[in-house]
Structure 1
Amino acid sequence: MSDELVERFELAFNQIHQHLKEMNRFPKNDNFAELLQHSKDRGVIRVHYDALKQYAKLRNAIVHERVRDGYYIASPHVEVVEELEGIKQTLDQPPLGLDVATRPVMFFYEETELLHVIEAFREHGVSQFPIYRDGLFVGLLTDAGVVRWLQESVREGSVAVEGMTVGDVLGHEKVHNVEFVAEDVSVFEIEDLFERSHGEGEKLKAVMITEGGDRDGKLLGIVTLLDLILDDDGE
């Protein structure tokens, strides 16, 4: 039984190692511990980081401290093997972006009255809404953008909000970096988008999931960095 558990452990470990190489685009230094460190803020790796560090030590003991064929100084418990295989399975078949996305997504049109959108910000506790014109995506309206517009529109201590529309405010909104992906894109691919934007110094505000990944396709869900963090924490 011990030999079988060791074989299962090593197989799952090596497959996770391969996933780490792919996550890090096959760097020259493919040491497991180094790859794990570089991937510690990524999805399932974040959740199982501490366990994987310990399993790496166990793997080294199994491989490098073997007394003789069939006899190991260290041998994994069945629970350890099953957990490692579970991590490997999640990496093989990662959840979809839609699994962590905010759904359904509320959106508004440029001609929507601003007061209606301000009320929606308060009622739903969100910080941004997609805005459309004639079925075409034109940008994100954020609560910070509305506040900025209010500050710029103060006249003699008051702001005339009555009759104003989303379109009136959208011109004062920052141009936000938004990506569009299809409904079959995985959480890991979405994480890659956020990771890449951070590395390039272009903060990604949101990932919009649409039918076929088309910019103006039917909106199915929206993913922010907060969605990914909450999902990793199991909330």
Structure 2
Amino acid sequence: MRTTILITSPEEWTAPGTELFQFAPLFPGGPEWFTKPILIVLLSAVIVIAVCWVAFAKPKIVPRGWQSIGEYTYDFVREQIARPSLGKDADRWMGLLLTLFLTVLVWNLMGVVPFIQYPVAAHVNFPAVLAISVYVIKVYLGVRHHGVRGYLRGVVHLDGLPGWAYAIYAPLILAEVFITSLFTHFIRLFANMFAGHLLVAFFASVGFWFLFEQLSPLGAGLGVLGVLMTIVITAFEVFIQFLQAFLFTMLTAMYIASGVHGSH
């Protein structure tokens, strides 16, 4: 597993860069695809399944412990994400939305777990797979409930818009619904996790270098500042990790609603 501290020599400090997101196979001679991010994804799946199993397998009338945490999380996703977009259809989609929220949240939080320290969503392929899956569901629901013509008509229809304006409006809204929305769904999550991981690595590298390699009164001050900034950025990153899990799941609920209701 790679570390986020990059020291090339006792005389030279090198800022961390994109090499933080490049991983060799975990085992010499092992399959090239089995890297640290894959291992974290598998571990995250086990964690989500275990948490849900412990919380909901044997529910009690008076919840406590993990059941309380599970029910609070379920209520949060239902009330703050599912119902505002899906209304009466919210409960039907809670299994998918709760799973997505917990999965993305655990992926993100892996960036601050000691000895792991890598948010899986900082690798673009993983959020892209989730976003593409949601996109397929959205289009499928739209066609299933409204037919191809009805779905497209519902997407581009705008009350009060003159007929001649549709020549300009329709291509733009179709591009947004079927192209742009897919990329913005996962790029937002990826970009935030990528930038946050890079920032934490940068300040951690500064702190390590000036405290242990570049020994001097000024260096010690800069090293302490680097450590303090690492702590502050990490705390802020936890908030961003939760926020991005919330936004990704909220957009999922909105896209599912657009398919069910036949609108953008």
The structure with the largest alpha-carbon Rg is: 1
Q: TM-score, length-normalised on structure 1?
A: 0.23
Higher relative contact order (CA 8 A, sep 6+): 2
Q: TM-score, length-normalised on structure 2?
A: 0.21
Question: Per residue, is there more helix in 1 or in 2?
Answer: 2
